[in-house]
Structure 1
Amino acid sequence: MQQEAVSCRMSGAAGEPGAPGAITLEDLDSMAEEPSPDSADPSTGCSQGDDAEQERLLSYWQSVGRGHQVDVPGDMAEPIQQLTRNQHQERESIPFTLIHRKEKFGEVLYEKRQYGKAKWACIKMQEEQYEQSICLGFMKLMKYICEQNSSGLYLGMTIPIVTLVHTNETHSELTRSVTVAYYLPELLQEQPPQPYDSDIIIEEWPPTVVYTRSFRGVTNEDSIMREINFLAELLESPELCLQNIFIVAGYTNPAAANRHNEIWFLQRP
């Protein structure tokens, strides 16, 4: 994760809880659990309500997308439905070894962690706004996760979804180019299914030491730069880390208002 190839990140919404622009995991769960008014068709073995469910979920995501100036295309209907139906599955966490934890008055200021070599599905985005890049990038990764891969299987969600971000030469703002990345589940690390989308690349990232600090709320250009500067002030030797490449790790639905995030500094090789 120390190389430029380790390009990854993920981010949040601009709305308040309950606002049209805020969709939560609980929203998706409740929508998936609602009984279909149609019974199964014995000739096909499929529920006649599938199309209606897809349309309902797609319409909901499209309304959320408009709040982020993102168009959710019609071909997202099936991946959205699959992701919704699998929300109750346990999400696999990216394994790491805790090296050190810095605390003050019982508050964790930051952690130093070791992440091992691993394979990731990555997609580079360069939209006008950070939120647009991560939303569009995540939708492409959703299709890969939801059967649009060489195995034809649902791969399962892992956390966090990460995004590699870059700062400009003066370290005053983020550049537009980001990479959103999905950690391949452990069972798929040796032979990752290949994506149908040629924009998604399977990359192997080297072992990496990171310094990480948690923060909550939306992730946008301002909040990310604020967290980068804050963590730089807390570290005893920030010069030991890469100076213009950082990772934003998202543990919560990207459109939730009070998201659980982390900022990661990458230790130099």
Structure 2
Amino acid sequence: MGGAGGAGGPAAITLEELDGLAEESPDSAYHSHGSSLEEEAAERMDDEEQERLLNYWQSVGRGHQVDVPRDMAEPIQQLTRNNNPQERQSIPFTLIQRKEKLGDLLYEKRQYGKAKWACIKMKEKQYEQSICLGFMKLMRYICEQNSSGLYLGITVPIVTIVHTDEAQSAMRQAVTVAYYLPEVLQDEPPHPFDSDIIIEEWPATIVYSRSFRGITNEDSIMREISLLAAVLESPELCLRDTFIIAGYTNPAAANRHNEIWFLQRP
């Protein structure tokens, strides 16, 4: 698979929690067709909602040593308002095998088809900083900062490609955070305004996936790599220095739902 999700702070934000953050605005805030006073009130409520959401994200960001700039206010508000779990599109795959032991799932073997992804390469000092900053850049792209001018929709998981040395003893600093383009945009993906975001086509790939929960940082990722390698019958069939962290919740969440993916050699 081509180009590819930190220590948790005291605060946490998940895609599920974003649902609750959008509840304060009545219909008039979105569909005001009345007097100018009503329009002014709706606009004021809109501004207040934006400010409240931005302040919340900034407080979360400080816990991860990440600055959330003011120009993220609108994308954050858009993502919150459009955050309907039923509308999130899961990346399609074919399940090849489920390996279990005493009723516990050890791993799944899956095939993902050829597809286009929006990718951003990051190289911050800490892994958590890279994924949070990379996710914010992708949020801007998803939230209208693209050639279509449209909200593109959330797909899950957001994935991060990580690299280790050949001995799998240390993780490299450079990572790639990537967003799967929704099915309707696969043929003609909107062009990102951010020149750091590259649209890549990844080939069909077989992955070995193991689920885990909690924060994702250098230590936890190396631990999960070791755990998956220990239960695979033939780990030598997979790449030894390239792995994917698949994140199903916001990168700033403390108890996020993740998977570690091993990539089968071509």
Query: Smaller-chain TM-score range?
Result: over 0.9
Residue 80 of structure 2 is aligned to residue 84 of structure 1: yes
Unmatched runs of 5 consecutive residues or more in structure 1: none
Q: Which residue of 2 aligns with 1:47?
A: 43
CA distance in 2, matches of 1:189, 1:151: 14
Contact 1:249/1:263 (8 A) holds in 2: yes
Q: Which residue of 1 aligns with 2:225?
A: 228
**What TM-score do you get using the length of structure 2 for normalisation?**
0.92
Residue 19 of structure 2 is aligned to residue 29 of structure 1: yes
Q: Which residue of 2 aligns with 1:135?
A: 132
Higher helix fraction (1 or 2): 2
**How far did residue 42 of structure 1 move?**
4.1
CA distance in 2, matches of 1:42, 1:122: 45
CA distance in 1, matches of 2:233, 2:68: 44
Structure 1 residue matching 2:227: 3-state secondary structure: helix
User: What are the superposed Cα offsets for residues 24-63 of structure 1, whole Å, 9 maximum, x if unpaired?
Assistant: 3343222211136x96474569633111111111111001
CA distance in 1, matches of 2:257, 2:185: 26
Residue 256 of structure 2 is aligned to residue 262 of structure 1: no
* Counterparts in 2 of 1:169 and 1:267: CA distance versus 1, 3 Å: closer
**How far did residue 103 of structure 1 move?**
0.5
Residue 59 of structure 2 is aligned to residue 63 of structure 1: yes
* Counterparts in 2 of 1:171 and 1:13: CA distance versus 1, 3 Å: closer
Letter of the structure 1 residue corresponding to residue 218 of structure 2: E
Q: Which residue of 1 aligns with 2:242?
A: 245
Structure 2 residue matching 1:134: 3-state secondary structure: helix
Contact 2:127/2:173 (8 A) holds in 1: yes
Contact 1:130/1:176 (8 A) holds in 2: yes
CA distance in 2, matches of 1:164, 1:99: 22
Letter of the structure 2 residue corresponding to residue 60 of structure 1: Y
CA distance in 1, matches of 2:120, 2:132: 12
**What TM-score do you get using the length of structure 1 for normalisation?**
0.91
Structure 2 residue matching 1:156: 3-state secondary structure: coil
CA distance in 1, matches of 2:239, 2:16: 37
Contact 1:13/1:256 (8 A) holds in 2: no
Correspondences of 1:143-222 after superposition (within 5 Å): 143-222=140-219
* Residue number among 8, 11, 14 corresponding to 1:14 in the alignment: 8
CA distance in 2, matches of 1:27, 1:108: 28
User: What are the superposed Cα offsets for residues 209-254 of structure 1, whole Å, 9 maximum, x if unpaired?
Assistant: 0011011111110000000011111111111111100000001122
**How far did residue 153 of structure 1 move?**
0.3
Contact 1:168/1:175 (8 A) holds in 2: yes
**How far did residue 13 of structure 1 move?**
5.4
CA distance in 2, matches of 1:53, 1:173: 43
Q: Which moved more, 1:111-120 or 1:86-95?
A: 86-95
* Counterparts in 2 of 1:54 and 1:13: CA distance versus 1, 3 Å: farther
RMSD: 1.8
CA distance in 1, matches of 2:157, 2:7: 16
Letter of the structure 2 residue corresponding to residue 181 of structure 1: A
Letter of the structure 2 residue corresponding to residue 268 of structure 1: R
Give % identity.
75
CA distance in 2, matches of 1:246, 1:129: 17
